[in-house]
A and B are shown apart, each in its own frame.
Chain A
Amino acid sequence: MEKLFKQINQTIMAELRDGECLGLGFGGEQSAFTRINAAKVRQIGNVDEADLGFNLILNGRRATGSISLSGDLDEDLSRARGELQRLRTEVVQLPEDPYLVLPESKETSRSEKHGNLPDAEAIPGILLPAMGNVDLTGIWASGRVYQGSANSSGGYHWFASDSFSLDYSLITPSEKMVKATYAGTEWDQAAYEAFLADSITKLELMSLPPKKIEPGDYRTFIAAAGVSDILSMFSWGGVSEAAIRQSESCLGKMRNEKVKLSSLFSFSEDYSSGFAPRFNGNGEVAPEKTTLIDGGELTNTLVSTRTAKEYGVESNFASEGESMRAPSMAAGSLKESEILASLGTGVYLSNLHYLNWSDMIGGRITGMTRYACFWVEDGKIVAPIENMRFDDSIYSFLGENLEAVTEKLQINPDVGTYDGRELSAVVCPGMLLKSFSLTL
Chain B
Amino acid sequence: MDLHQLLSGIDVRADWIGLRYVKENTGFRLVRDGKPEANTRESKQGVMVEVLVNGQFAYYGTSRLDKPGIQAAAERAVKLATAASKYSLHSFGTDARPVAKGSYSSPFQTAADAFSPGELSDLLIKATAELKVSDKVVTTNAMARTVETESHFVASNGSDVEQKYLMVSADYSAIAHEGSVTQKRTDGGLLAKSYQAGMEVFNEADVLARCRNIGAEAVELLTAEECPTGTMDLILAPDQMMLQIHESVGHALEIDRILGDERNYAGWSFVRLEDFGKLQYGSPLMNITFDPYVENQFASYAYDDGGLKAEKEFLIKDGLLIRGLGGMESQLRSGINGVANFRASSWNRAPIDRMANLNLEPGNSTQDEMIAAVERGVYMTSNRSWSIDDYRNKFQFGCEYGKLIENGKLTKTVKNPNYRAISNPFWRSLKMLGNRDTFEVYGTPFCGKGEPNQIIRVGHASPLCLFDSVEIFGGA
Contacts and interface: CB of A to CB of B under 8 A. Distances in A.
Interface of A: 31, 33-35, 37-38, 40-51, 62-72, 75, 83, 86, 90, 93-95, 97-99, 120-125, 128, 137-139, 141, 167-169, 171, 175, 177, 179, 246-248, 252, 257, 353-359, 361-364, 366-368, 370, 387-389, 391, 393, 416-418, 421, 439-440
B182 interface: yes
Nearest to A46: B60
Give the interface centre of B56, B62, B263 by most chain A CB atoms within 10 Å. B263
B79 interface: yes
B58 A68 contact: no
A124 B83 contact: yes
B361 interface: no
B261 A137 contact: yes
B242 to A, nearest CB: 16
A272 to B, nearest CB: 28
Give the interface centre of B60, B63, B390 by most chain A CB atoms within 10 Å. B63
Interface in B223-271: 259-261, 263-265, 267-268
A117 to B, nearest CB: 15
Nearest to B267: A353
Given A120-B76, A359-B416, 17 more contacts: A38-B89, A40-B87, A41-B89, A43-B59, A49-B61, A51-B44, A63-B40, A66-B43, A68-B46, A70-B69, A71-B63, A75-B66, A93-B121, A137-B261, A139-B451, A169-B263, A358-B387
17 contacts: A37-B259, A43-B59, A46-B80, A49-B348, A50-B63, A68-B45, A69-B63, A83-B43, A93-B117, A94-B117, A121-B80, A248-B184, A353-B389, A357-B385, A359-B475, A363-B476, A421-B452
Contacts of B175: 246-248
For the complex of A and B, list the 6 residue pairs with the smallest distance between their C-beta atoms, beginning with the closest: A362-B476, A45-B59, A93-B118, A139-B451, A40-B89, A417-B452
Contacts of B117: 63, 90, 93-94
A179 B267 CA distance: 12
Given A41-B89, A169-B263, A367-B387, A98 B35 contact: yes
Contact of A416 (B116, B260, B394, B453): B453
B96 interface: no
A11 B39 CA distance: 25
A417 B394 contact: no
Interface in B386-408: 386-391, 394, 396, 398
Contacts of A179: 264
Nearest to A252: B182
B261 A66 contact: no
Interface of B: 32, 35-36, 38-46, 56-66, 69, 76-77, 79-84, 86-89, 116-118, 121-122, 125, 138-139, 175, 177, 180, 182, 184, 259-261, 263-265, 267-268, 348-350, 385-391, 394, 396, 398, 416, 418, 420, 422, 448, 451-455, 471, 475-476
B352 to A, nearest CB: 8
A98 B86 CA distance: 60
B396 A391 contact: yes
A43 B471 CA distance: 41
A389 B41 contact: no
A293 B332 CA distance: 53
A389 B420 contact: yes
A6 B259 CA distance: 47
B88 A48 contact: no
Contacts of A387: 389-391, 394
Nearest to B177: A247
Contacts of A86: 41
Contacts of A370: 389-390
